[in-house]
Amino acid sequence: MKRRQILGAVAAVATGTTVTAILGNKDNKKQIIKKESKVCMPNISKGVKRFRMVTTWPKDFPGLGQMPNRFAKALKDMTSGLMEVKVYSAGELVGAMESFDATASGAADMYHGAEYYWQGKSKGFSFFTSVPMGMTAAEIMGWIDHGGGQKLWDNLSANFNIKPFQAGNTGHQTGGWFKKKINTLDDFKGLKIRMPGLGGEVIRRLGGAAVQLSGGEIYQALQSGSIDATEWVGPWNDYAFGFYREAPYYYAPGFHEPGASLAVGINLDIWNNLSDSEQSIIRYACKSANDSSLGEYTHENAKALEILKINHGIYPRYFTDEIMKEIGKISNDVVFELGNSDSQTATIYESYIKARNSYNKWTEMSDGLYINARKISAE
């Protein structure tokens, strides 16, 4: 069947509890497919397929909130408007943390979010966003695209009727904003810091108290003194929230999310009913959003860091080797425990750690040594 026929020859008739649609399958044969009404098939009108995407991000939030819009634009541009995505920010259609279930059930067609939000479904999802002392942005792309990560991710997500893709990356996330200086390991004892997930567990084992707050709650918590510190993303998003006014000590590196990958998840029934060409277009729209976001964060973080320095006298500080060594030790324990929580997660963990360790020498030899040499040459 020709592409124009695939996109145009779809008729859907709602009858009772089923929807019947004539679609082109992957063998280019016509096939009658029946789906229960709970599965939300894409809205098709005059040859245009329209999808509803729910997200975990505030509306038009810089960076994170723009990633799904960038994906939607790429999809529309590459199909000359024959595939459209309506993006709903958190709370507009469903709550942020309901995005996964809405897509799995068919109440929405797709989501954009961070996979570690779904670790209540399976611990394995954390490895497809970031884990403490895990992979950099370039490394996680290498593992997922070329090291077997995508297949493992597909198998995990299929348990929940989802087809996943990388569709954004913030790059390295910084260590956070603190009301006091962090000079020794003892300074973490009793420290109340906003840090969710596995990073929060590392803080707890250091003697601190990890607090989970949404982005919109952080500044007020710092201002009231209910927390002593917070991590968020990086200079670009952190500056927009004004954390420097309440917690002026800005620390790096971040150990908790060294290269946070964000995802598009698509209802698997919808995905399987798309033609090969349509699937390829979605795949490359995700790649476009992924690559663009990493470049954007690199550019905007550098700009914001300069503004913080020049306009507000904020200079980054660095955790000592003693602190980072202990954090690294605890992080490895936390990730090992997570990675062995069940058999499927253990398979993902084994692949992830093998890839991280194999990439480590090259990353150190290339980016690490070069950046250090560039710094020395500028002195």
* Peptide linkage before 68 cis (omega within 30 of 0): no
Q: Is residue 83 part of a domain?
A: no
Average pLDDT score over the chain? 89
What is the total count of domains within the chain? 2
Q: Is residue 97 part of a domain?
A: no
Averaged pLDDT for residues 206-231: 94
Indicate whether 142 and 12 sit together in one domain.
no
82, part of any domain: no
Would 88 be classed as within a structural domain?
no
Indicate whether 145 and 12 sit together in one domain. Answer: no
On whether residue 69 sits in a domain, the answer given is no
Any domain includes 77: no
One DSSP character per residue, 32-75 reads EEEEETTS-PPEEETTEEEEEEEESS-TT-TTGGGHHHHHHHHH
Residues 12 and 138 in one domain: no
Instruction: Please report whether residue 195 resides in a domain.
Output: yes
pLDDT at 113: 96
Render 244-300 in DSSP notation, one character per residue: GGT--EEEE--SS-SS-EEEEEEEHHHHHTS-HHHHHHHHHHHHHHHHHHHHHHHHH
146-152: average pLDDT:
98
Do 13 and 159 have their domain in common? no
155 and 6 housed in the same domain: no
Which pLDDT band holds residue 331 (cuts at 50, 70, 90)? very high
**pLDDT tens, residue by residue, 98-130:** 999 999 999 999 999 999 999 999 999 999 999
User: Could you tell me the residue range of the domain that residue 217 belongs to?
Assistant: 123-379
The confidence score (pLDDT) of residue 59 equals: 87
What is the rounded distance in angstroms from the CA atom of residue 286 to the CA atom of residue 283? 5
Residue 41: per-residue pLDDT: 56
Does a structural domain hold residue 109? no
Note whether 137 and 171 are within 8 A (CB): yes
CATH code of 246's domain: 3.40.190.170
5 and 136, same domain (yes or no): no
pTM score of the predicted model: 0.85
**pLDDT tens digits along 320-330:** 999 999 999 99
Residues 187 and 312 reside in one and the same domain = yes
Q: Does 133 lie in the same domain as 30? A: no
Is residue 365 very low, low, confident or very high in pLDDT (cuts 50, 70, 90)? very high
pLDDT at 44: 58
